[in-house]
Amino acid sequence: MGVLLQISDTHFGTEQPPVVDALLRLVTEMKPEVIVWSGDITQRARRGQFEAARAFLEQLRPATIVTLPGNHDIPLFNLPARLFFPYAGYRRVFGEALEPRYESADFHILCVNTTRWYRHVDGEISPDQAQRIARQLDASTPDRVRIVVTHQPVHVIKGKDEKNVVHGNEHAVRRWAAAGADIVMGGHIHLPYVRPLAERFPDLPRAIWAVQAGTALSWRVRHSAPNSINLLRRANEPYLACIAERWDFSAARTRFEPVDSQHLPLDRPRREALN
């Protein structure tokens, strides 16, 4: 059974060393196949913050690490850098790819860069991005869990977060659902939850889930959510499904502990789902 670990919004520059140590211990214990790091890696895209992220990255090995930038990973105050080299710091640590892919026997992960140099906070999915991801989903096989990763969310559960919903969300979600996506992962708002996307987009052609992560390491937590990460476990029952687990940091015990688990049935015809 494959295990995926999602971390998000680490905001290096505001990280808490006890939480960093606890997360590294959890990674050692769980031995995930792949770690999805869904943006806002740094607080202000400064060189020292990216170097701290690099040191953390090296301690996550040998798991495969799939990353994408968040809005905080583009310089805010250095306007020439923001305009002409917005991803220079990110690329120096994580490589050239801003929309990496990962494929294994259990997972097919497709990242979408929702950041834009001309948007300080908001994210955007262009029609070209939506179509490109849909083509890749169309070419995927139904025996894998098909996951799209954005930074800004495609669905929120609190009214005050509506302003953070990524632009272009409806066209993208409907196109991806039709192409076979199972899950859209995101971060940005520091609030973890799992919801069916049919809550926001009625009449989707198939079931698809939003899996949102809190902030993994930063002191910039929301009052209702401490530092947290998500674990996603593939399950065959005998039909393809996922178990989505939320793990919160316990300050009293200085470790991450499971606090919630949800069964996510994945939409497969019987002939596809059988192994």
Residue 95 three-state SS:
coil
Read off the pLDDT of each residue in 225-238 and give the average, rounded to a whole number.
91
Number of domains forming the structure of the chain: 1
Cβ atoms within 10 Å of 41's Cβ, excluding its own: 31
CATH of the domain at 266: 3.60.21.10
pLDDT above 90: percentage of residues in the chain: 90
The pLDDT value given to residue 268? 82
The model's pTM:
0.95
Torsion of CA 29, 229, 224, 188, to 10 degrees: 160
Instruction: Please state, in angstroms and rounded to a whole number, the distance separating the CA atoms of residues 258 and 249.
Output: 9
The answer on pLDDT for 172 being more than 50 is yes
* Structural domain boundaries, residue 95: 3-273
Lowest-confidence segment of 1-15, 47-61, 164-178, 234-248 by average pLDDT: 234-248
What average pLDDT does this structure show over 15-43? 97
For every residue of 59-89, DSSP letters joined together read HTTTSEEEEE--GGGS-SS-HHHHHH-TTHH
pLDDT in tens, 121-159: 999 999 999 999 999 999 999 999 999 999 999 999 999
| Angle, helix 17-30 to helix 47-59, in steps of 10 degrees | 30
Find tokens 């031995």 and name the residue: 31
Does the structure show a pLDDT above 80 at 217? yes
Quote the percentage of the chain above a pLDDT of 70: 97
In this prediction, residue 197 has a pLDDT band, given cuts at 50, 70 and 90, of: very high
Beta strand pairing call for 107-111 and 101-103? antiparallel
Which secondary structure element, helix H or strand E, spans residue 136, and what is its range? helix 127-138
DSSP secondary structure string for all residues of 182-243:
-EEEE-SSS--EEEEGGGTSTT-SS--EEEE---SSBS--BTTB-SEEEEEEEEESSSEEEE
